[in-house]
Amino acid sequence: MKKWMFVLAAPLALASQPAAADDDRDAKQAEMMAALAQAFKVEPLTPEQQARLPLATALIDQIMPDGTMNELMGSMFDGMLGPIMKLAEEAAPRLHQFIGYGQEDLELGEAEVAEIAAIVDPRWQERQRRTIALTQSMMGTVMAAMEPSMKRGMSEAYAVHFTRPELEGIGAFFSTEVGASFARKSYKLSSDPRIINAAMREMPAMMLAFKDMGEQLKVETADLPAKKGFDALGADERKRIIELTGLSEDELRAGMALVAEQDAAQEPY
């Protein structure tokens, strides 16, 4: 997928927080936007690059005609996000959304969880379906709003990375029947079901590659001093952590014991 999708996901996640946290959410969102802008800060175009910008802009108009981003969003939902969203729509209820505790915390079976969900929110399935539908609609709106800015950014990138003869050659290709067809279809191809299916088939191999990560991490960090357990903390260190977290000493002990178990099992963060 395109890297900009990950950039888009962060502010959308913040935007979905409860309205009661509006002020805090807006502050965090502004802070995140400022951090992202700084992280992706670019140098101004040189005079030579600026001179190529009109040619690059015309080329991007060929590659990415108006409405492309919205079409891409629809293609993504049909080819990849749609099936994932369908699974989410049909997924069993998550207990913590109804009573604040997870299913694993209370050791309840799916039948008990479903019964609790039906008591607290008899229409939880319809609510879940509408949430997913609204997510798709909002994503389409956001993508359409992003398009002018994306096109400007792509135009500048092409002006930076391609010479005038290269831009002219690419433009000449996209002016042909074959080139115009490629330009129309290239963005949608990223979410073609065949490509997604190929990626999914490789998922077991990917997971297998991560299976031994814990052991590899153990080797990579063998020269580092061991992480302190609860009993290795000094009295002042325990006191300070308790002051910072608000945990009781027993809660801190239990939490650090869990961390020790995870470390012993070589489970990476």
Which pLDDT belongs to residue 1? 40
28 and 73 assigned to the same domain: no
- Mean pLDDT (the chain) is 78
Asked whether residue 208 is assigned to any structural domain, the reply reads no
- Reported confidence tier of residue 269, pLDDT bands at 50, 70, 90: very low
Asked whether residue 269 is assigned to any structural domain, the reply reads no
225: left (phi over 0), alpha (psi -120 to 50) or beta: beta
Give the span between the Cα atoms of 132 and 72, in whole angstroms.
18
Could you tell me which residue, 106 or 16, shows the higher pLDDT? Answer: 106
Q: What is the DSSP string of 54-100?
A: HHHHHHHHHHS-TTHHHHHHHHHIIIIIHHHHHHHHHSPPPTHHHHS
Residue 19: pLDDT above 60? no
Per the structure, the complete domain to which residue 31 belongs is given by 1-41
Asked whether residue 252 is assigned to any structural domain, the reply reads yes
Which pLDDT belongs to residue 56? 95
Give the span between the Cα atoms of 263 and 255, in whole angstroms.
13
116 and 6 assigned to the same domain: no
Q: Please, are residues 260 and 252 in contact by the beta-carbon 8 Å criterion?
A: no
120 and 25 assigned to the same domain: no
Q: How many C-beta atoms lie closer than 10 Å to residue 92's C-beta?
A: 10
- Reported confidence tier of residue 21, pLDDT bands at 50, 70, 90: low
Could you tell me which residue, 190 or 156, shows the higher pLDDT? Answer: 156
Identity (one letter) of the amino acid at 234? G
Task: Give the whole-number percent of the chain exceeding pLDDT 70.
Answer: 79
Which pLDDT belongs to residue 16? 47
Give the span between the Cα atoms of 197 and 32, in whole angstroms.
34
Which pLDDT belongs to residue 76? 63
Could you tell me which residue, 105 or 130, shows the higher pLDDT? Answer: 130
Over residues 114-123, mean pLDDT: 83
Over residues 178-190, mean pLDDT: 80
Residue 115: pLDDT above 50? yes
Which pLDDT belongs to residue 4? 46
Give the span between the Cα atoms of 61 and 180, in whole angstroms.
11
Task: Compute CA distances 15 → 31, 133, 135, 190, 244, whole Å.
Answer: 13, 16, 11, 26, 28
Could you tell me which residue, 166 or 27, shows the higher pLDDT? Answer: 166
Summarize pLDDT for 121-140 with one digit per residue, the tens: 888 888 877 877 787 778 77
Instruction: Pull the structure tokens for residue 231.
Output: 């009993």
Tokens 């959410």 -> residue = 25
2 and 100 assigned to the same domain: no
Which pLDDT belongs to residue 48? 96
The total of structural domains in the chain comes to: 3
* Of 181, 201, 221, the domain-final residue: 201
Over residues 28-55, mean pLDDT: 84
Residue 32: pLDDT above 80? no
> Alpha helix locations (H) across 190-234?
193-201, 203-211, 213-220
130 and 52 assigned to the same domain: yes
147 and 254 assigned to the same domain: no
Residue 208: pLDDT above 60? yes
Asked whether residue 207 is assigned to any structural domain, the reply reads no
Asked whether residue 206 is assigned to any structural domain, the reply reads no
Which pLDDT belongs to residue 240? 93
Which pLDDT belongs to residue 119? 84
93 and 173 assigned to the same domain: yes
